[in-house]
Amino acid sequence: MKKLINDPRAVVDESVEGFGLAHAGLVEVHLDPLYVTRRGGAVQGKVGLVSGGGSGHEPLHAGYVGQGMLDAAVPGAVFTSPTPDQILPATRAADGGAGVVHIVKNYTGDVLNFETAAELCEAEGIEVRSVLVNDDVAVEDSLYTAGRRGVAGTVLVEKIAGAAAERGDPLDAVEAVANKVVAAVRSMGLALTPCTVPHAGKPSFELAEDEIEIGIGIHGEPGRKRVGLEPADALTEHLLTPVVEDLGLRGGEKVLVFVNGMGGTPLSELYIVYRRAAQLLAERGASVERSLVGNYTTSLEMQGCSITVLRLDDELTALWDAPVRTPALRWGV
């Protein structure tokens, strides 16, 4: 195992500490318990947004703390849910008096721990709503979930709900727009190589040189099928077709297309995937109105990608375009 680390047991703490130093103008890092907040604390009168999950998916979630997105993020150990005693103070810190929305990826540990933290918050008088992201069309009931997994579509939920909160929408409206995105977004991913969790010291699964896993989760969970190496255009079709079919996309509809790298894939290859995805959508009569390409929801150093499609309307487009200033997403500010 070759990694730029010191002690495998200290990877998350040291990484988050470095993240805080690198982005000190945007975020504050709290070390005991570990969570990240927007610089300057909660905005009074604004609905707070909190998300989190296992580390190893950077920049998700701490990279999306800031104006127009999250007010706090809670990093767990690598591929492991954060604990309620982290989520509780993060929620307190995000509360500006208008309530807080928890954005939770559908993994059993995340769901249970955020539920526990929400109950503790309610007991303190903080009104909390939870939005469950389950955009992965690949499989039902994986190793980590009951139902579909939450994957890269989480970034779009956080951005759009964050914009609604930033413009002053009340708690019910922010929750509603987050759920609107969840209902309109679908994703699917593939792996060219496995990844290595630092404290495990060995790859999380095995793939032959000429094999690709279709439908993986962001922890390297197995997917729908294992296939031989194919050209990028064919692999793109393997991902996009189930996404579009599950979404029920019709000709004439407007979409946002998000090609996400899993951590070890160069941008040049992600743009080849985006190129074919855009072509396939055009052939179906869909109009690609917005795009995002890059490493935004990763699985450590895994080589691979995912494709996410969001059905757009005027409201979601305007909220996507709204100003955002975080370590990982910035425009319009």
- Please tell me the distance from the alpha carbon of residue 199 to that of residue 1, in angstroms, as a whole number: 10
- Please tell me the distance from the alpha carbon of residue 119 to that of residue 134, in angstroms, as a whole number: 22
The token duo for 311 is 């059905």
Known catalytic membership, residue 219 = yes
- Please tell me the distance from the alpha carbon of residue 122 to that of residue 128, in angstroms, as a whole number: 7
Contact present, 53 and 60 (Cβ < 8 Å):
yes
What residue type is assigned to position 256 of the chain? L
* Cis status of the peptide bond prior to 33, with omega within 30 of 0: yes
Known catalytic membership, residue 102 = no
Contact present, 133 and 187 (Cβ < 8 Å):
no
Tell me whether strands 48-55 and 100-105 are parallel, antiparallel or unpaired.
parallel
Q: Which of 23, 57, 61, 102 is catalytic?
A: 57
Starting from the edge strand earliest in sequence, which strands make up the sheet with 211-214, in order? 225-228, 211-214, 185-191, 304-312, 254-261, 287-294
Contact present, 155 and 61 (Cβ < 8 Å):
no
Starting from the edge strand earliest in sequence, which strands make up the sheet with 100-105, in order? 27-31, 34-38, 72-78, 48-55, 100-105, 128-133
Q: Which of 23, 61, 219, 238 is catalytic?
A: 219
Contact present, 308 and 186 (Cβ < 8 Å):
yes
Q: Which residues are catalytic?
A: 57, 219
